[in-house]
Amino acid sequence: MKKNSWFILVCFMMTHTTLLAADTNLTVKIGSKIHTESVILGELMTHLVNHAGVKAIHRGELGGTQVLWKALKRGDIDIYPEYTGTMTRELFAGSGLKTLDDIRGRLLQDNILMTNPLGFNNTYAISMKKAVAAKYGIRKLSDLRHYPFLKFGFGESFMARNDGWQSLRQIYQLPQTDVRGLHHDLAYQGLNQGAIDVVDAYSTDGEVAYYDLQVLEDDLQHFPKYYSVFIYRADLQERLPQVIKALQELEGKISEAEMTKMNARAKLDKVPENQVAADFLAEKLALKVEIPEDSLWSRLYQLTIEHLILVSISLFAAILVSIPLGILAFKSRRLGQIILGIVGMIQTIPSLAILVFMIPLLGIGNFPAIAALFLYSLLPIVRNTYLGLHDISPQLRESAQALGLPPMARLRLIELPLSYRSIFAGIKTSAIINIGTATLGALIGAGGYGQPILTGIRLDDVGLILQGAIPAAVLALLVQGLFELAERWIVPKGLQVKSR
Partner 1 sequence: MALKSINLSIPAGKTTILLGQSGSGKSTLIRIINGLIQPDGGGTVLFEGLPLTRQNALALRHKMGYVIQEGGLFPHLTAYQNIALMAGYLGWATDRIDKRVTELAQLTQLPLDMLSRFPAQLSGGQRQRVSLMRALVLDPDLLLLDEPLGALDPMIRSELQTDLKDIFQTLGKTVVIVTHDIGEAGFLGDLIVLLRDGQIVQQGNLAELVQTPAVPFVTQFINAQRSPLEALTGNS
Identity of the residue, 130 or 331, whose beta carbon is nearer to partner 1 in the bound complex? 331
Q: Which stretch binds partner 1 (CB under 8 A): 206-214, 253-261, 312-320, 412-420?
A: 412-420
Angle CA 114–115–117, to nearest 5:
115
Integer Cα distance of 278 and 293 in angstroms: 13
- Strands across the sheet with 27-31, in order? 55-59, 27-31, 79-83, 228-233, 112-114
In the bound state with partner 1, the residue whose beta carbon lies nearer, of 288 and 488, is 488
Among 48, 231, 266, 418, binds partner 1 (CB under 8 A): 418
Least Cβ distance, residue 396 to partner 1 (angstroms): 6
Enumerate the β-bridge partners of residue 125: 201
Q: Does 390 bind partner 1 (CB under 8 A)?
A: no
CB of 496 to partner 1, least distance (A): 9
Q: For partner 1, which is the closer residue by CB, 288 or 493?
A: 493
Q: Strands 79-83 and 124-129, how do they pair? A: unpaired
Long-range pairs of 475-478 with CB within 8 A, sequence gap ≥ 24 = 475/304, 475/307, 475/435, 475/449, 476/432, 476/435, 476/436
Asked whether position 1 contacts partner 1 by CB under 8 A, the answer is: no
The residue within the footprint of partner 1, chosen from 54, 321, 405, 486 (CB under 8 A), is 405
Least distance (Å) from partner 1 to the CB of residue 426? 18
Cα–Cα distance, 174 to 385 (Å, whole number): 58
Nearest distance from C-beta of residue 425 to partner 1, angstroms: 16
Task: Return d(Cα 52, Cα 239) in angstroms, integer.
Answer: 14
Are 289 and 278 spatial neighbours (Cβ–Cβ below 8 Å)? yes
Is 195 a binder of partner 1 (CB under 8 A)?
Answer: no
What is the amino acid identity at position 168?
A: L
Amino acid at site 346: I
Q: Which of 108, 320, 413, 482 binds partner 1 (CB under 8 A)?
A: 413
* Using rule CB under 8 A, residue 408 touches partner 1: no
Say whether residue 398 binds partner 1 (CB under 8 A): yes
Residue 287 CA to residue 278 CA, distance in Å, equals 8
Segment contacting partner 1 by CB under 8 A, of 6-14, 179-187, 403-411, 474-482: 403-411
* Amino acid found at 236: L
Query: Does 406 engage in binding with partner 1 (CB under 8 A)?
Result: yes
75 or 407: CB nearest partner 1: 407
User: Cα(343)–Cα(340) distance, rounded to whole angstroms?
Assistant: 5
State yes or no: residue 298 binds partner 1 (CB under 8 A).
no
Tell me which residues in 467-496 interact with partner 1 (CB under 8 A). 492-495
- Please say which residue, 5 or 399, places its beta carbon nearer to partner 1: 399
The stretch among 106-114, 135-143, 195-203, 398-406 that binds partner 1 (CB under 8 A) is: 398-406
Q: Which of 110, 114, 71 is nearest to 229 (CA)?
A: 114
Rounded Cα gap, residues 120 and 218, in angstroms = 17
Helix (H, G, I), strand (E, B) or coil at 179: strand
With a CB cutoff of 8 Å and minimum separation 6, the contacts of 171 are 220, 222
Residue 2 lies near partner 1 (rule: CB under 8 A): no
Count Cα atoms within 13 angstroms, Cβ side, for 177: 0
**Does 186 sit near partner 1 (CB under 8 A)?**
no
Are 237 and 90 within 8 A, CB to CB? no
Per-residue x/- marks for partner 1, 426-445, CB under 8 A?
--------------------
Min CB(407)–partner 1 separation in Å = 9
Minimum CB separation of residue 486 from partner 1 in Å reads 17
Q: Segment 131-170, which members bind partner 1 (CB under 8 A)?
A: none
Strand order through the sheet with 124-129: 179-182, 152-155, 198-202, 124-129, 213-215
Q: Give CA–CA dist 78/147, Å, rounded.
A: 46
Size of the site for partner 1 (CB under 8 A): 25
The one among 1, 402, 408, 485 contacting partner 1 by CB under 8 A: 402
Burial class (CB in 10 A: 0-12, 13-18, 19+), 216: buried
What is the rounded distance in angstroms from the CA atom of residue 269 to the CA atom of residue 261?
10
Among 414, 440, 457, 475, binds partner 1 (CB under 8 A): 414
Contact status: 10 vs partner 1 (CB under 8 A):
no
Least Å from the CB of residue 332 to partner 1? 19
Figure out which of the listed residues 401, 470, 478, 480 binds partner 1, where binding follows CB under 8 A.
Answer: 401
Contact 90, 69 (CB under 8 A): no
The one-letter amino acid at 11: C
In this complex, which beta carbon is closest to partner 1, that of residue 334 or of residue 500? 500
Binding to partner 1 (CB under 8 A): which residues in 22-41?
none
Binding site for partner 1 (CB under 8 A): 395-396, 398-406, 409, 413-414, 417-418, 420, 492-495, 497-500
